Amino acid sequence: MEFDTVIHGGTIVTASEQYRGDLGISGERIVAVAERLDGGMRRIDAGGRLVMPGGIEAHAHIAQESASGIMTADDYLSGSISAAFGGNSSFIPFAAQHRGQTIDNVIATYDARAKTSIIDYSYHLIVSDPTEETLNVGLPRAFARGITSLKVFTTYDLLNIGDAGMLDILGVARDHGALTMVHAENHAMIAWMNRELAARGMTAPKYHAISRPELAEEEAINRAILLARLANAPLFVVHVSTEAGARHVQRARAEGAPIFAETCPQYLALTRDDLDRPGMEGAKYICSPPLRDAGTQDALWRHVQTGTFDSVSSDHAPYRFDETGKLMNGSNAPYSKIANGLPGIAVRLPWLFSQGVIGGRITPQQFVAFGATNAARIFGMTRKGRIAPGMDADIAIWNPETIRRVTLKDQHDKMDFTPFEGFELTGEPEIVMTRGALIVEHGKLRGKNGQGRFVARGRLDVTGHPGVPVKEVALMKTDEANS
């Protein structure tokens, strides 16, 4: 067989194994995996490095207006370049519906914005307006086009859809084999804390973390899981930041419920002390849910290690430290008027490799699972996230030995800070490919504006998650069948 590219002399790492082997690529696909492959128009010597599936970033806000209406600093060009330098071959940012907007209109808007991506992409919808039209026309059309996941919020004034809206959405998603994701924090608890803090004049950035208690996440994750159980629908809990929230996920999964979840590097690497930096520096660390504490970090790592989480995602939400972003309401704004979100799409995988694999917390196989394979399976990217014949040639070759410090310049995004500045990282992706094309090669950008393609995604695979019957729903169905 003639190959366009052969990657030879590397250690192939998948979500389940690791072996010395060569990869043959023809066109856009992997066509052969063998102990040794000759030939190839281009031969890439992996030189003993790790040959892994290119990362899939499953949680990123790109060219998206925030809940308060400001635009992220990164568009699809800069966001995808930053992702590629971080070892990603594809990503799934959000396409956000604003109230009054049809889903068709949302998708058309993001189709136009995404044209510049250098890596493959899809979108998760954000649904804020679950009208009849959204539920019965817009969503089914989006699912049919391969946009098979959507996110809802239990908080933020302009996004919170309430329990009834969530049940409606869960039901529609279930009927179409689509997946509902949830940002879970209790809106009323946060509003109450905001009032209590305001009454005390406590408005500095550090109070952001106090204003969103762990209890608010614990309650909302539990509620979202129970709503999903009632609707007999799968659910993906995004950016879990608390031990109690992780325990709810763990318990539901152990019972057989199709519950999936992620956490993010910031909840494992940073703490609420970062919000207490001098002046307004703490604003750079405002994200929701907020950063917690060292004890929570340890607990979340244990959940990463033991399988509570399917992915570790960046939740890249880039708002600059200026009037276009964090300081849009002035350089002394109260925490409640500072844009929520941290950048981190380029640092997610290098940080996870360094702290996880090199740090001895997770295996290289878990790294591949958290970084690519699980997201591909859960979000229906059926030709991505694995190294096997027939799969897209989305590859990242990692040097596990390089040591460097995180700098803003290396993020290749449009931000003016990185919250991970100065962190020491061991290991980095030296070569990244999307569908057989080099997009990053030893620190140089090779990908081209618009080279990425929209990925139509499949239905959610819930194998291994049989579900937990709800007695009353079963009784209703029995009566219906007998009537």
Binding mask 8-47 for Zn ion (x = CB under 5 A): ----------------------------------------
Strands 395-405 vs 424-434: parallel, antiparallel or unpaired: antiparallel
Q: What is the 3-state secondary structure (H, E, C) of 291-332?
A: CCCHHHHHHHHHHHHHCCCCEECCCECCCCCCCCCCCCCCCC
Give, as ranges, the residues between 156 and 195 that touch Zn ion (CB under 5 A). 183
Q: Which listed residue (315, 392, 413, 428) binds ligand URP by CB under 6 A?
A: 315
- Residue 287 is a binding residue for ligand URP (CB under 6 A): yes
29-34 vs 437-441, strand pairing mode:
unpaired
Decide whether 339 or 393 has the Cβ nearer to ligand URP.
339
Q: Tell me, what DSSP letter sits at residue 13?
A: E
Question: What is the Cβ-side half-sphere exposure of residue 122, based on CA atoms within 13 angstroms?
Answer: 24
Q: Which is nearer to ligand URP, 61 or 292 (CB)?
A: 61
Binding pattern for the stretch 321-360 against ligand URP, x by CB under 6 A and - elsewhere: -------------------xx-------------------
Helix or strand or coil: residue 260?
Answer: strand
* Nearer of residues 338 and 393 to Zn ion, judged by Cβ: 338
Query: Minimal distance in Å, beta carbon 287 to ligand URP?
Result: 4
Burial status of residue 392 (CB atoms within 10 A of its CB: 0-12, 13-18, 19 or more)? buried
Cα separation, 102 vs 124, whole angstroms: 15
Query: By three-state DSSP, how is residue 439 classified?
Result: strand
Alpha-carbon span 139 to 142, nearest angstrom: 5
Angstrom CA distances, 247 to 63, 228, 314, stand at: 33, 16, 21
Q: How many CA atoms lie within 13 A of 215 on its CB side?
A: 7
Phi, psi of 76 (to 5 degrees): -70, -25
- 287 touches, from ligand URP, Zn ion, none (C-beta below 5 to 8 Å by class): ligand URP
Residue 317 binds ligand URP, judged by CB under 6 A: yes
The 337-366 contact track toward Zn ion, x by CB under 5 A, reads ------------------------------
Binding string to ligand URP for residues 29 to 68, with x set by CB under 6 A, is what?
A: --------------------------------x-------
Q: What angle do CA 283, 320, 453 make, to 5 degrees?
A: 130
Cβ 288 to ligand URP shortest distance, Å: 4
Residue nearer to Zn ion on the CB measure, 183 or 435: 183
Shortest Cβ 194–Zn ion spacing (Å): 17
- In contact, 428 and 293? CB cutoff 8 Å: no
Q: Is residue 396 a contact residue for ligand URP (CB under 6 A)?
A: no
Q: Which of residues 426-445 bind Zn ion (CB under 5 A)?
A: none
Nearer CB in complex with Zn ion: 8/151 = 151
Please identify, using beta-carbon distances, which residue of 320 and 386 lies nearer to Zn ion.
320
Q: Which residue in 288, 296, 355, 374 binds ligand URP (CB under 6 A)?
A: 288
- Interface of this chain with ligand URP, residues 124 to 183, rule: CB under 6 A: 183
Token pair 């029995």 is found at: 478
- What is the closest distance, in whole angstroms, from the C-beta atom of residue 317 to Zn ion in the complex? 6
Residues found near ligand URP in the complex (CB under 6 A): 61, 183, 287-288, 315, 317, 340-341
